[in-house]
Amino acid sequence: MFKFRHLLLLLALASPFASAMKAVFWQPQLRDSSVTAARWQALMIDLRHSGFDTLVLQWTAYGDAFTDDAQRAALQQRAEDARAAGLKVIVGLHADPEFFQRQAQSGAARTHYLARLRVADIIRAKAWQGRADGWYISAEIDDLNWRSGAAREQLVDWLTSTRRQLAGVSPAPVYISSFFAGNMTPDGYRQLVADVAGAGIKVWVQDGRGVDKLTPEERQRYLTASAGCGGSAPASGVVYEIFRTLPGSAFRAAPLPEPELNARLKQGASCGKESLYFSLRYLPAARGVLDAS
């Protein structure tokens, strides 16, 4: 009987579904520097005890933020504290606050802009060399700006080149996230995600619950096509949004009501795909530690 149980354990550990990532995003803000080292370390330990195995830094530079030596060192110490708590750390690279406007350029202007993003990403990666279990490209791929064949070719060329140059810094997996807002059919969106994955990038699809622009049924059609169990679903994982958007012209969000939040945290991606949660600020463990606004 013991040998049989031992064999079952070995088979479970060998299963491709046994070690699927359970991660949470952290969007570093300069105001987070007010959190003491002890409180941050306790939060990281709490995450690990809650079943998370990975912390995703959404960026290590946001415009000019975190680019001076002191800010970078402080952020790297936060990452080291996460590692000390038993978490893997996926390092986000450079985030351009103007990305969502600048990506709408066409032709040579967009090609030039994407090349500048790649240069900024490689600079960040070199500053974090040896500290990453994976790289995260902070630009998010939507279902509006990459629909044409020419735009799709630009996208794939940019991501392919970025992945290759990142491999030269450190051979770690490269991730990016994508979201849908009804600008493509579910099958068309699945193909967009497949094209990005074909560039050697692991794609996480945002579930759209927090933004709440589509009905639950509509969102599910997109998720099934892009990140479901079918062999043609190319996404590596799903990002579950654990916030609700507040009224107003500027984006503001709050954590979900506790019963709904707890249910969302128990939800995981199908078929052993990676499960990610956005974001750390909205977790119960972060209340009183990180400002959720």
- Kindly list the domain boundaries of the chain, sorted by start residue: 20-286
Tens digits of residue pLDDT in 73-99: 999 999 999 999 999 999 999 999 999
CA distances from 116 to 4, 55, 103, 152, 193 (A): 57, 27, 12, 18, 23
Radius of gyration, CA atoms only, the chain: 19
Determine the residue type at 134.
G
Residue 10 has pLDDT above 70, yes or no: no
Instruction: Determine how many CB atoms are found less than 10 A away from the CB of residue 12.
Output: 10
Residue keyed to tokens 């579950």: 240
**pTM metric for this prediction:** 0.93
- For residue 69 the two structure tokens come to 């030596």
Residue 207 has pLDDT above 50, yes or no: yes
Check if the beta carbon of residue 170 is closer than 8 Å to that of residue 130.
yes
Return the ∠ at Cα 184 (arms to 143 and 203), rounded to 5°.
45
Tens digits of residue pLDDT in 154-177: 999 999 999 999 999 999 999 999
CA distances from 262 to 185, 237, 243 (A): 31, 20, 12
Quote the pLDDT of residue 293.
Answer: 67
Quote the pLDDT of residue 270.
Answer: 86
Least confident piece of the model among 5-19, 132-146, 234-248: 5-19
- At the fourth CATH level, the homologous superfamily of domain 20-286 is Glycosidases (3.20.20.80)
